[in-house]
Amino acid sequence: MITTGTREFWFATLALALGSFMIFANVHMTQPLLPQLAQTFHLTPLQASWSLTVTISMLGLSLLIYGPLSDAFGRKPIMVLTLFGAVATTLAISQVETYSSLLILRGLQGFFLGGLPAIAIAYLGDEFERKAVLVAVGFYISANSLGGVTGRLVSGFVGEHYNWQTVFLVLGFSSLVWVLLFICLLPPSKIFQA
């Protein structure tokens, strides 16, 4: 089991925190873009807000699916697959020309974004000793908040100086870097066996 303060503890904790940061940066990235989306696609503010609603709804639904999938196929493989799916959809959204396409891809993005939150705590419970779980969960939850705030800040800044498509490119490529770090840092499961 992974114990507090070891190199493996810090690598795994950092990996899960980076993943959590990435998830919530991507979830909340459209909030500052709502006026720009409304203008680009000729939408009401309510219609523009669906870009966030669809993502969160699909993320919530996906939580029910990924737990059992990770029991069958392993924790890390499902987390990695869903993180890459989230990156791919984030980058694809930068190329859409219709709002309906954006909503479909944001829904798919939300579905992929649910992989890590559904599995991360199970991974910690399987692989970490009890005291280490408590410390790691603190970092993981802090990264949720930091990711949400950072996603909004970066999105607002980039969107104001460039456009909403550039926001998706910037966060998509940043997310790819975070996913690659996640893969390198997170140890494979030693205790849990699919």
Domains in the chain with CATH codes: 9-185 (1.20.1250.20)
Q: For the chain, which ranges sit under pLDDT 70?
A: 194
pLDDT number for residue 192: 72
pLDDT digits (tens, 9 = 90+) for 14-25: 999 999 999 999
- On the 0-12 / 13-18 / 19+ scale of CB atoms within 10 A, 15 is buried
The structure's pTM equals 0.94
pLDDT number for residue 155: 97
Rounded CA gap, 192 and 57, in Å?
29
CA distances from 149 to 90, 98, 152, 182, 190 (A): 18, 27, 5, 20, 34
pLDDT number for residue 125: 93
2 DSSP β-pair partners: 128
pLDDT number for residue 194: 63
30: three-class secondary structure by DSSP: coil
